[in-house]
Structure 1
């Protein structure tokens, strides 16, 4: 009985092991079902890839796209206007800058910024003690030099008068001696005078004649020298007078006045402020006449000339302009031009106002045109996808484009009027030769 009892657990264990082995066999049987699941998922993925590839993939030369994903434009005949759009700014037609001729301290401010000035109207009063002292010293020095010149002129005149006086005395002596010699010759012939006395009178007459000759030569030489000296002194005196006048004007420049009539702007001074010589304190603008100032890309510098035309629109009206001045200096990749209004200017524009301007680079011409689009950046204008409606395809075609503006591009060769092409971006089509278009809407 005990043996039977003890054997029962063994049987039980054997049965458990059998059951466990069966369980293990069942787990092994589930592996094929998992593989089937993996294969099924793989097949689904491949089917999806195949489907989408058939819709929007390509074999290296052709590609299928939906018509709703692209933009289509047409080739047309029209007038091409060769222009570039620029932004211009309203500035006064004429401007006079106010620079301090002499520096100083601001004592009085007589007008405000924005005042309409008249010619000669006082603007600001400056003071400069050092300048005033320098002018006084210069004035004293100039006065002293002028007095010295007057003294020299007086001396020259006195010398001239002395020569004239000496010549008169010599001529008088010669006349007396000539009369005396005539009398003595008669006396000698009558025996009333000795020969020695006659010879003495003759010698004295010769002396005075020679003295007269020397005096005449000296007078002539002195007259020439005096003439040159007087001219030099006259010029020197004039320059000294101008120097004195200039020194006085420097004092007057401390009282700054309006040189022209116009509107004062950029004027911002305070009492007690120090102004340096040459410092700009403001400007006077012509209040009612304006021009436009524009910056243009340096690429167009060689195509811009004086008199070139432009236009701007304001309040629905178009105004013609022309280039009046070119500033060839390149700053940040651009150069400046001034544009003047040809006939009339807008009546309600103000300084600093921005205006959209069309700058003409050539005469309008009749030609084939295509709308400007994003395709140009991808192809450089060397090729396009031209649409064939009969086959619903767009084929790559080499073309040649010319000038362009922000709206149209000039067609040189490769296209005809009425043809259609894809105008949207070509980034995904750079290696494609042909595009199949589905769901076309052209």
Structure 2
């Protein structure tokens, strides 16, 4: 027997679908209610919060170091000596010409004394030579004067006989003798005058030789006196005595270090930066130097190409006038500004968050009673802060503590 099947009506199908939809919605509401009812609670005192801000941020590299004198003088012993007196010790303020240490060397004292004696002897010889020259000159001048007198007499006599020989009063032989005598005296006068000229040249050359000898002894005395003066160790400029390790009575060799002086009004900062950050450094980059009393701005003028103990040393000069309360060898810290970011969103870097990444961080609601795990895109790291690219706005509050041990998308804060 055939059984006739009845088809369900369209109204019944619609009603069933509605019941199914209501059941699904109810299930979702139950799940949400369950999650809210079982949400993790954390104490406000156990977490760290940070507000998202908008503004300018500098990307920096940290370093540490000391202030050093830009102008330094290393003083060494010029001769072997013994420390006779210590006048100033390390740390003392010095002026230009301040005596730091007095050294002693008896051989140098004797050298000065010998040089003084030799110079005195040379000067005495010069004066003696000058007197002898004057005596010889006077003798020669007297001889010339005598010849001139004889020549004048011979000339008069020859002129008189020339008249008389014409009258036959004087013989021609006597006249010829008068002429001969006159010519002889003229020749003698000429030779004596030439000899006088030569004598003057000889005297001048002899005096020059003696003067050169005196100059040589004078130079020897100056050299010896400089060696003696060098035993008084003096500062060449005003500054501070940075190092002086000698002891009273100590013997030192030539070339040994005596003292190190550094300027106090011309300082530079020597900063050590981690080798891993060295590739970000370049000349003229701005630097903030913290003396732990104040912050001074400067810029990089030199980067040491040599890596020492995993650090790179940079040299920084001040941009403005050097403060009065800084000193050489003072410890400092520094921030080198690698890049300046303008008008960005940033926040104090949450725990375990890396630059240029997208990570989940708890973000508080408006009344700060709950926090929801939110995906936030991070950009560049700037020291303790990090740039926010997406997922948060200025004024939002993030939990920056490490809550990776919590397995919840929502947490309540009490």
CA distance in 2, matches of 1:304, 1:329: 12
Q: Deviations over 1:93-142 (max 9, x none)?
A: 54444433333122333344433445555443333233333333343344
Helix, strand or coil at the partner of 1:272: coil
Select 1:339's aligned residue among 301, 308, 317. Answer: 317
Offset, 1:335: 5.5
State how many pairs are aligned: 323
2:166 aligned residue: 189
Q: Deviations over 1:270-304 (max 9, x none)?
A: 22211222322223445576432335789779943
Instruction: Answer yes or no: is the 8 Å Cα contact 1:95–1:284 preserved in 2.
Output: yes
1:70 aligned residue: none
1:355 aligned residue: 332
2:283 aligned residue: 304
Indicate the larger mover: 261-270 or 202-211: 261-270
Offset, 1:369: 10
Work out whether 1:88 is the aligned partner of 2:65: yes
CA distance in 2, matches of 1:336, 1:219: 77
Select 1:211's aligned residue among 159, 183, 188. Answer: 188
Indicate the larger mover: 159-168 or 174-183: 159-168
CA shift in 2, pair 1:267/1:145, >3 Å: same
CA distance in 2, matches of 1:212, 1:251: 57
Work out whether 1:128 is the aligned partner of 2:129: no
Instruction: Answer yes or no: is the 8 Å Cα contact 1:121–1:257 preserved in 2.
Output: yes
Offset, 1:206: 1.8
Stretches of structure 1 lacking an aligned partner (at least 5 in a row): 1-75, 377-383, 395-400, 411-415, 421-437
Offset, 1:351: 3.5
Instruction: Answer yes or no: is the 8 Å Cα contact 2:78–2:255 preserved in 1.
Output: yes
CA shift in 2, pair 1:116/1:186, >3 Å: same
Instruction: Answer yes or no: is the 8 Å Cα contact 1:326–1:336 preserved in 2.
Output: yes
Helix, strand or coil at the partner of 2:297: strand
Work out whether 1:270 is the aligned partner of 2:254: no
CA distance in 2, matches of 1:327, 1:221: 72
CA distance in 1, matches of 2:305, 2:219: 40
Helix, strand or coil at the partner of 2:321: coil
Instruction: Answer yes or no: is the 8 Å Cα contact 2:299–2:317 preserved in 1.
Output: yes
1:245 aligned residue: 222
Offset, 1:330: 4.3
Q: Deviations over 1:176-235 (max 9, x none)?
A: 221121122122123221222222221222222233333334444454555455456445
CA distance in 2, matches of 1:297, 1:178: 109
CA distance in 2, matches of 1:219, 1:301: 87
Work out whether 1:101 is the aligned partner of 2:106: no
1:321 aligned residue: 298
Superposition RMSD on alpha carbons, in Å?
4.8
Helix, strand or coil at the partner of 2:84: strand
CA shift in 2, pair 1:345/1:121, >3 Å: closer
Q: Deviations over 1:35-89 (max 9, x none)?
A: xxxxxxxxxxxxxxxxxxxxxxxxxxxxxxxxxxxxxxxxx99868576443231
Instruction: Answer yes or no: is the 8 Å Cα contact 1:105–1:275 preserved in 2.
Output: yes
CA distance in 2, matches of 1:302, 1:158: 83
CA shift in 2, pair 1:417/1:264, >3 Å: closer
CA distance in 2, matches of 1:85, 1:260: 34
Work out whether 1:178 is the aligned partner of 2:155: yes
Instruction: Answer yes or no: is the 8 Å Cα contact 2:96–2:237 preserved in 1.
Output: yes
Helix, strand or coil at the partner of 1:248: helix
Instruction: Answer yes or no: is the 8 Å Cα contact 2:158–2:175 preserved in 1.
Output: yes
Normalised by the size of structure 2, how large is the TM-score?
0.59
Stretches of structure 2 lacking an aligned partner (at least 5 in a row): 1-52, 360-373, 393-406
Instruction: Answer yes or no: is the 8 Å Cα contact 1:322–1:342 preserved in 2.
Output: no
CA distance in 2, matches of 1:331, 1:222: 76
